[in-house]
Amino acid sequence: METAEFVEIVDREGRLLVVAAEEAGTDAKVPTCPDWQVKDLLRHTGMVHRWAAGFVAEGHTSYHPDGGLPDLDGDELLAWFREGHRHLVDSLASAAPDVQCWHFLPAPSPLAFWARRQAHETTVHRVDAESARGAAQSGIDPGFAADGIDELLRGFHARSTSKVRSDEPRVLRVRATDTEDAVWTVRLSQEPPVAVRDATGDADCEVAGPVAQLYLALWNRLPFPHVTGDGAVATLWREKSAVTWS
């Protein structure tokens, strides 16, 4: 996917998120994040938007901490979120393609990284907001969902910070049933997971289903659609794969 496509997704998903949050109310519980109310979701995502925009707009070439969570609620919080989201979209859309700034996963360029990362960040949290509202959820494009699985398996969990470890070597296969060539083999060990986009070799466990459902399941927003083989491997993923803010 091209950077401009990711920027369009950040724009659309952020607007969907805040509409769902407003309709749910900031005190509503977030079923997909049981410890959160909508106010927590808005504070977190709005903080991340501002943090990400800072690298692109200000060209920070080393890590900079986030600005913390605001002590806002209600209409003030919604307005604060909208302002930060708009700043992020504008920063991504207006940045020079060769802008140099810090980023934390391999990417064709820093701008490509931040546009992609914030597209997936905002989409997953839009799903959270819509779960709090309780109405029908907006869809996720299959190609975008497959890209998000790539980012999670071959980006986030390739890092030394991944907690998905197994004392004995295990193999998890992730297979989309509605998207051609969307299958991943994830080798688990005492080291960070190693994922490749193919179906080479035997697997101890396979999780399968529509790619958008797999995307959300791997981010622990939905149960796995279908599990075959050793379910303990899928359970290991559920229990150890959470990506938390630090």
Average pLDDT, the chain: 97
Q: What is the DSSP secondary structure assignment for residue 20, as one 8-state letter?
A: H
In a 10 Å sphere around its CB, with 0-12 CB exposed, 13-18 middle and 19+ buried, how is residue 149 labelled? buried
Residue 5 is predicted with a pLDDT of 98
* CA 63 distance to own-chain centroid: 20
Q: Which residues of the chain have pLDDT under 70?
A: 246
* CA 131 distance to own-chain centroid: 16
Residue 244 is predicted with a pLDDT of 83
- Domain 3-133: which CATH number of 1.20.120, 2.40.50, 1.10.287, 3.40.50: 1.20.120
User: Any alpha helices (H) in the chain, and if so which ranges?
Assistant: 3-24, 38-58, 74-94, 110-133, 142-154, 211-218, 231-240
Residue 152 is predicted with a pLDDT of 98
pTM value surpassing 0.95: yes
Residue 136 is predicted with a pLDDT of 84
Tell me the per-residue pLDDT of 141-171, one tens digit each, with 9 for 90 and over: 999 999 999 999 999 999 999 999 999 999 9
State residue 25 phi and psi, 5-degree precision: 95, 145
Q: Which CATH superfamily does the domain covering 156-240 fall into?
A: SCP2 sterol-binding domain (3.30.1050.10)
Residue 87 is predicted with a pLDDT of 98
Q: Return residue ranges of the chain for CATH 3.30.1050.10.
A: 156-240
Q: Are 84 and 46 in contact (CB under 8 A)?
A: yes
